[in-house]
Structure 1
Amino acid sequence: MEELKKFIVFQLNTEHYGVHIQQVLSIEKVTHITPVPNTSPFIQGVMNLRGEITPVIDLKGRLQIGTAEHTASTRILIVHINDTQVGLLVDSATDVIDLEQSLIDSPPETVGSLSGSYINGVAKVEEKLLILLDLEKVLNLEEMSEAKQAAGSTNTEVER
């Protein structure tokens, strides 16, 4: 029997994306995000998540497919990337699914405006295309360093 992999499915605009469940610590509703000056436009700011200052990234902004709009279904995926806890702002988090490895195709060079380097693979699930992101490549080391600095520079300034 083929090994199943679990993915968290979320939406950006009208597209469905997935990340491996092992990278996701939790899914949170949007609470207060404190802006941090002099950061990249896709860094929304920081939030206090159970006592830990967590940088929040607008994933649509980072992937250059728009900017996040806060609605009732907007969620923050708390993920662990390169030893850093980061919040990823997404339009909605819709599902947890099991995928067999055989259902995952290699990533194309580009998908829409996304570079293929961000993508681990593509799967067809219930007539929808599911783009599986490689979170370690979505944020490069320089951007992770900037996110860490954003979290560190606000230590006690974030509302509790």
Structure 2
Amino acid sequence: MPENQYVVFKLGKEEYGIDIMNVREIVQYQESVKVPNSPKFIEGIINFRGNVIPIVCLKKRFGMKDKATDANTRIIVINLNDKQIGFLVDEASQTIRLDDSNIDPTPDIITGIERKYITGVGKLDNRLIILIDLEKVLTEDEKDKINLLDI
């Protein structure tokens, strides 16, 4: 059975997984600089290894209640269209391996744009892990707005 490796992160009490091949790095939270007139889900920008990258707050993007950052807060950095972008999460604690037999397709209850970036539901012991594709979390319009930040 084909097996994939996922980085597991938390937003509130929910666990999400992303393909480890999409992750460039996971870094400790650092304060971002706010950018005027940016979309509400953009936390700001940070200096990441000499590059200025935008930080997307996934909780805001998903319409979840935001919480204060703490020692567990992380930024997951990915490459998106030759550009680095960071995603703010409550915690990114582990990597897991799932074979295809432990991944169910996206439930029919999920409709609209969310269906595009939820790739399935992983089952590991008694846990359900929502598998998402961070590259598809942002719409083309939202990606354009981030690019307009000229960063």
Q: State TM-score, norm by structure 1.
A: 0.87
SS of corresponding position for 1:129: strand
RMSD: 1.6
Quote the residue 1:156 is aligned against: none
**Residue 56 in 1 paired to residue 66 in 2?**
no
Quote the residue 1:128 is aligned against: 127
SS of corresponding position for 2:147: helix
Quote the residue 2:64 is aligned against: 65
**Aligned equivalents of 2:88, 2:95: Cα separation in 1:** 17
Q: Letter of the aligned partner of 2:96 in structure 1?
A: I
**Aligned equivalents of 1:8, 1:48: Cα separation in 2:** 23
Quote the residue 1:98 is aligned against: 97
**Aligned equivalents of 2:26, 2:34: Cα separation in 1:** 21
Quote the residue 1:21 is aligned against: 20
Quote the residue 2:75 is aligned against: 76
Structure 1 position 136, deviation (Å): 2.5
SS of corresponding position for 1:36: coil
Structure 1 position 3, deviation (Å): 1.7
**Aligned equivalents of 1:151, 1:110: Cα separation in 2:** 38
Structure 1 position 66, deviation (Å): 1.9
Structure 1 position 110, deviation (Å): 3.9
Q: Which consecutive segments of 4 or more residues in structure 1 shift more than 6 A?
A: none
Structure 1 position 39, deviation (Å): 0.9
Query: 1:109-139 CA distances to partner (integer Å, 9 max, x unpaired)?
Result: 345xx93332000011121110001222211
Query: 1:12-37 CA distances to partner (integer Å, 9 max, x unpaired)?
Result: 01000000011100001111310001
Quote the residue 1:47 is aligned against: 46
SS of corresponding position for 1:124: strand
Contact 1:46 1:151 in 2 (8 A): no
**Aligned equivalents of 1:87, 1:6: Cα separation in 2:** 20
Segments of 5+ residues of structure 1 without an aligned counterpart are 153-160
Provide the aligned length of Structure 1 versus Structure 2: 149
